[in-house]
Amino acid sequence: MATITIDHRPYEVDDGQNLLSACLSLKINLPYFCWHPAMGSVGACRQCAVVHFKSAEDTRGRLVMACMTPVNHGDLYSINAPEAQVFRAGIIENLMTNHPHDCPVCEEGGECHLQDMTLMTAHTQRRFEGLKRTHKNQYLGPFINHEMNRCITCYRCVRFYQDYAGGTDLHAFGRNHQIYFGRQENGQLKNGFSGNLTEVCPTGVFTDKTFSRRFVRKWDLQTAPSVCEHCGVGCNTAPGARDDGKGDPRKLRRVVNLYHRDINGYFLCDRGRFGYEYTNSPQRLYQPLSATSEPLICTTANGEEKIQQPLAPGDAIACFADLVDEALHNKRRLIGVGSPRTSLENNFALQTLVGRENFYAGVSAREMALLKLSDQILQDPQLYSPTTPEIEQADAVVILGEDISNSAPRIALAVRQAARQVQRQRADALHIPQWQDASVRELESGSTPIFIASVEQTDLDDIATDVLHTAPQAIVEFTKQLTAQLHVASTPEDKPGTLEKVAAALRAAKNPLIVCGTGLLSQPLLAAAAQLAQTVACQHSSKRCALYLAFPDTNSVGLVQVSSATRNLDSLSQLLDNSDIPTTLIALETDFYRQMHTSAADKLLADVQLIHLDLLHNATARRADLVFPAAATPESEGTLINSAGLAQRHYCVYEGSGYIQESWRWLANVAAACAARAGGVEKIPQLGEIARWEHVTQLSDALAHAYPPLAPLAELGPEWNALLDGERVARQPHRYSGRTALYAETAVAEQPPPRDSDAPMNFSMEGIPFAGRDPLQTHNWAPGWNSNQAVHKFLTQVTGEIQGGSSGLYLQREPETFETFETFETFDHTASPGEAQAESDTFVPVPLQRLFGSGELSNAAEAIASVLREPVAQFHIDDAQRLQLNSGDYVRFRGFAGKFQVTVGDAAAPGCIGFITGYTSPLPTGTLPAGDIERVTSNTPGGSG
């Protein structure tokens, strides 16, 4: 610690950091542009000037840039010195010479860092009389608007895009005051983190195009803390919603980052930022549907979609209750299918309704085995799932099979920062502070050893010291050999091979990191990765090793905790096959046609009555007898457990349109209807307390008692009726406009806001905007700081924890060390694509992950849907030549629906055919004989696709 004096007041700060960061941590206002908490200082904008005095006798002092000045004990500074104030206002004046005064039509207006800083410096009068420089704007794709005239040339966009995120298609062009930030030509920004430009840009050059379509000001957006539902990482988000008062059901307007030190920090991936539009999709369900207007009697014929009609919620609940009644009288069997993409509470409600023995996880046996194995691996106390800051500090990384750039993108962004760990160590040796960003990046150093084994080229290959593109089985073999190599006493060799190099790097590393996941659908790979991590842990002084396992869905880990390994979609199919008991299937947010092959799903659903609770009118909903519109993540409160085992609460941002409500509430309504018929809740103890549930926290508490690893859920988040500093938290900001006018067409009196019975939050402006002791942060907003740059006001220090502690509590897995993971009981291995071995003239189908394409919900988002490609089959160049296939050809595979466009790459794994996960149905199983590949059309000139 160092004591420094700012304007005659002493402050305790961490020494060695820069003065700007120290001031912001102290909550002292000091304007800046080019500095960014995650990207450090470069000294370009000159906005954060302060006066530095050499000694108490020095009265004149010298102007210094706070961001470039390391603080040392005894330093004397003045922010308020007239010279500094005049200079800072002068910098704004300079920046404003070219900035258009278009705030009223600029989408940044109201949350613009440039506006804030201009006010802070008190620059008011324009003296520049010349012409402003103007630029032409570019088309940057469906996600980002470009308005270069607003640019103040702070360079944050290229520093984020190129330096931080590894993008190669956004540059600074030209020089002097004509500098242009853009692409070489019009076109979609290729980097998967491009959406962060909208938050990194201090003004309105890069804005969110999806938000533009239905734009409102930040002050008119209602927000609440949420968790991203588009992968297993669990990034924190702040979705913004507004009801237009005219009945448009599409209330959600955008998603922005919500800081969480240990997960997403300041950045989100593009799937997470733009995927929200599924909530507004034309496929969205807003009201209950029934296959007929009559009460349910029977199911329709095999494979046929049903004619559905809207049903009043009360009637729908009554129909549902009829079926539950029948089950209670043992006339029917109730079976529930749970989901990894919805909250624990929703799953638990269904499980309670149908009974644990009738609760099946809505994933295949193959996936369930992978999830259970992953969960079991992470029980090992030697292995731990690292936080994002820990990943960024890794000094040896081995990525096995998992394409994290596409399956856990935010983790890939963290690994990209780890690539510079060796460079950062060199900077330490030269006493160059880490925040001196440009200087550290210039340093000559070796690269952090990063080894990537994958079935195709990945977006992280550019930072890898070694890559291996090969078949899943070969990755398993390599992993095993690597483990064996670690056991060999290290002998320095003249020309070490990859194996020796990687082993040596792991042995030497202070912070080794192994990354794997379920993406390749390979249990042997997970087991081998775990054994490798155990071996690294044994040899490490701490006896621990970081192992990041990427789980596929937002609540995969949660679902595993409440599910039996043996109750999954495959075992359900078997069960239904082998019995004639009339069955009612309640499907919770599960699309069978995405989890199973069409024929298998058809067969499974053939003889059951299907009640479907879901968000979108998907293939399963189209076959259902009764459909209930379920609340999406930002429309509900619930608990999700991310890949790192962190249980997080997402809060309801806005009430879903139409009759949308949380799945658990539909189930509670049904139970209440049953109880009413039976003459009281106590008459139907089988349904437990479901009928009594009114608040989601009641379910969380029940879960905490029912499942020991979930015990922390009881402590997670405030009770619905708690008061924070005597008040509830307001979702709407202090300037929310139009609350009396919005509904004036339909009602003269002001409408009462909906009451939140799950969280101590209001759907109104009443209450406190942010509760300091609980991370119930609804938006980044502080006096004088209207943009997202306000976040530092809510942190213990810049890049530190949120005041009151990071949200979320870790799952309490029972510690257990496994001798070997290979004995894990499972299904037939050879049927798994990731585990099959190619023989002569056969191919192994391998799953490929895509940021846009592999997300079930995000694929229904308008902007994302517009960039989705057709299903592809990816071949290694040698295989393609042998089969006489060219890029652009179309092929079919016998016994497997759909046609695929051929892509050919030399980085694709030989002997494999890559299929993009999540487009429609699962991969073909087993191996694909060459003879089963049939060319449909060729892309020869004149031919058509």
Partner 1 sequence: MRIDTSLRTPLTKNIRAGTSGAVPLDDYRKNGGYRGLQKALTMPPRDISKLVQDAGLRGRGGAGFNTGLKWSFVPSQEDYSGQRYLVCNADEMEPGAFKDRYLLERDPHLLLEGMAIAARAIGATRAYIFLRGEYPLAAERLRSAIAEAESASLLGPGVFGGKFSLQVHLHRSAGNYICGEETALLNALEGKRAIPRAKPPFPQVSGLWGCPTVVNNVETLCNLPHLLMLGAEWYRSLGRGKNAGSKLFGVSGRVKTPGLWELPMGTPIREIVEQCGGGMQPGYQLRGLLPGGGSTDFLGPQHLDLAMDYDVIGKAGSRMGTGTILVLDDKTCPVGLVLNLQRFFARESCGWCTPCRDGLPWVVDILERIEQGHGKKQDLDLLQELAHRMGPGKTFCALAPGAAEPLESSLNLFLADYVAHIEQGSCPYAQNTAPLMETI
Q: Which residues of the shown chain bind partner 1 in the complex (CB under 8 A)?
A: 42-47, 49, 62-64, 68, 87, 90-91, 94-95, 97-98, 127-130, 133, 153, 155, 172, 174-179, 430, 432, 436, 438-439, 442-445
- Rounded to the nearest whole angstrom, what is the least distance from the CB of residue 170 to partner 1 in the complex? 13
- Rounded to the nearest whole angstrom, what is the least distance from the CB of residue 160 to partner 1 in the complex? 16
- Rounded to the nearest whole angstrom, what is the least distance from the CB of residue 97 to partner 1 in the complex? 5
- Rounded to the nearest whole angstrom, what is the least distance from the CB of residue 30 to partner 1 in the complex? 16
Indicate the residue among 174 and 303 with the shorter CB distance to partner 1.
Answer: 174
How many CB atoms are closer than 10 A to CB 27? Answer: 12
Indicate the residue among 96 and 912 with the shorter CB distance to partner 1.
Answer: 96
Indicate the residue among 45 and 317 with the shorter CB distance to partner 1.
Answer: 45
- Rounded to the nearest whole angstrom, what is the least distance from the CB of residue 789 to partner 1 in the complex? 18
The DSSP code for 357 is G
- Rounded to the nearest whole angstrom, what is the least distance from the CB of residue 446 to partner 1 in the complex? 10
Indicate the residue among 42 and 791 with the shorter CB distance to partner 1.
Answer: 42
Nearest to 443 by CA among 422, 419, 416: 422
- Rounded to the nearest whole angstrom, what is the least distance from the CB of residue 52 to partner 1 in the complex? 10
> Encoding tokens for residue 602?
């058809």
Amino acid making up residue 520: L
DSSP assignments along 789-839, one per residue: GGGGGGBSSTTSPBTT--S-EE--PPP---S-STT---S-GGGSGGG----
DSSP assignments along 484-535, one per residue: HHHHSPP---SS--HHHHHHHHHHH-SSEEEEEESTT--HHHHHHHHHHHHH
Q: What is the dihedral of CA 57, 62, 66, 68, to 10 degrees?
A: -120
Question: Counting beta carbons within 10 angstroms of the beta carbon of residue 723, is it exposed (0 to 12), middle (13 to 18) or buried (19 or more)?
Answer: middle
> Encoding tokens for residue 874?
């990816």
Indicate the residue among 49 and 170 with the shorter CB distance to partner 1.
Answer: 49
Beta-sheet pairing, 890-893 with 896-905: antiparallel
- Rounded to the nearest whole angstrom, what is the least distance from the CB of residue 164 to partner 1 in the complex? 17
Indicate the residue among 153 and 407 with the shorter CB distance to partner 1.
Answer: 153
Nearest to 232 by CA among 650, 641, 651, 810: 641
Indicate the residue among 157 and 668 with the shorter CB distance to partner 1.
Answer: 157
Indicate the residue among 430 and 744 with the shorter CB distance to partner 1.
Answer: 430
Where residue 754 falls (left for φ over 0; alpha for ψ -120 to 50; beta otherwise) is: beta
Indicate the residue among 52 and 306 with the shorter CB distance to partner 1.
Answer: 52
Indicate the residue among 91 and 646 with the shorter CB distance to partner 1.
Answer: 91
Cα–Cα distance for residue pair 853/403, rounded to 1 Å: 14
Indicate the residue among 153 and 903 with the shorter CB distance to partner 1.
Answer: 153
> Encoding tokens for residue 634?
């930002």
Cα–Cα distance for residue pair 135/114, rounded to 1 Å: 19
Nearest to 173 by CA among 130, 136, 204, 208: 136
Indicate the residue among 201 and 873 with the shorter CB distance to partner 1.
Answer: 201
Indicate the residue among 133 and 739 with the shorter CB distance to partner 1.
Answer: 133
Indicate the residue among 91 and 562 with the shorter CB distance to partner 1.
Answer: 91
Cβ–Cβ < 8 Å for 861, 277: yes
- Rounded to the nearest whole angstrom, what is the least distance from the CB of residue 134 to partner 1 in the complex? 13
Tokens 């009726």 identify what position?
721
Q: Which element (helix H / strand E) includes 2?
A: strand 2-6
Q: Which element (helix H / strand E) includes 413?
A: helix 409-418
Residue 144's Cα: distance from chain center in Å? 19
Beta-sheet pairing, 761-762 with 180-182: unpaired
- Rounded to the nearest whole angstrom, what is the least distance from the CB of residue 101 to partner 1 in the complex? 16
Indicate the residue among 26 and 172 with the shorter CB distance to partner 1.
Answer: 172
- Rounded to the nearest whole angstrom, what is the least distance from the CB of residue 467 to partner 1 in the complex? 23
- Rounded to the nearest whole angstrom, what is the least distance from the CB of residue 510 to partner 1 in the complex? 22
- Rounded to the nearest whole angstrom, what is the least distance from the CB of residue 58 to partner 1 in the complex? 15
- Rounded to the nearest whole angstrom, what is the least distance from the CB of residue 71 to partner 1 in the complex? 16
Nearest to 425 by CA among 510, 496, 353: 510
Indicate the residue among 116 and 229 with the shorter CB distance to partner 1.
Answer: 116
- Rounded to the nearest whole angstrom, what is the least distance from the CB of residue 916 to partner 1 in the complex? 36
- Rounded to the nearest whole angstrom, what is the least distance from the CB of residue 16 to partner 1 in the complex? 14
Can you tell me whether residue 453 is helix, strand or coil? strand
Indicate the residue among 50 and 795 with the shorter CB distance to partner 1.
Answer: 50
Residue 365's Cα: distance from chain center in Å? 25
**Which residues have C-beta within 8 Å of that of residue 757, sequence separation ≥ 6?**
694, 695, 720
DSSP assignments along 218-246, one per residue: GGG-EE--EE--SSSS--EEEEEE---SS
Cα–Cα distance for residue pair 502/175, rounded to 1 Å: 43
DSSP assignments along 641-688, one per residue: E-TTSEEEEE---SPPSTT-B-HHHHHHHHHHHHHHHHTSGGG-GGGT
Angle between helices 569-577 and 365-377 (to 10 degrees): 140
Q: Find residue 782's DSSP bridge partners.
A: 785
Output the CA–CA distances (angstroms, integers) from residue 764 to 251, 570, 873, 877, in the order listed: 15, 46, 50, 59
Indicate the residue among 441 and 829 with the shorter CB distance to partner 1.
Answer: 441
Q: What is the dihedral of CA 350, 351, 353, 354, to 10 degrees?
A: 110
Tokens 């920046």 identify what position?
95
Cβ–Cβ < 8 Å for 95, 44: no
- Rounded to the nearest whole angstrom, what is the least distance from the CB of residue 305 to partner 1 in the complex? 58
Q: What is the dihedral of CA 126, 132, 135, 137, to 10 degrees?
A: 30
- Rounded to the nearest whole angstrom, what is the least distance from the CB of residue 426 to partner 1 in the complex? 8
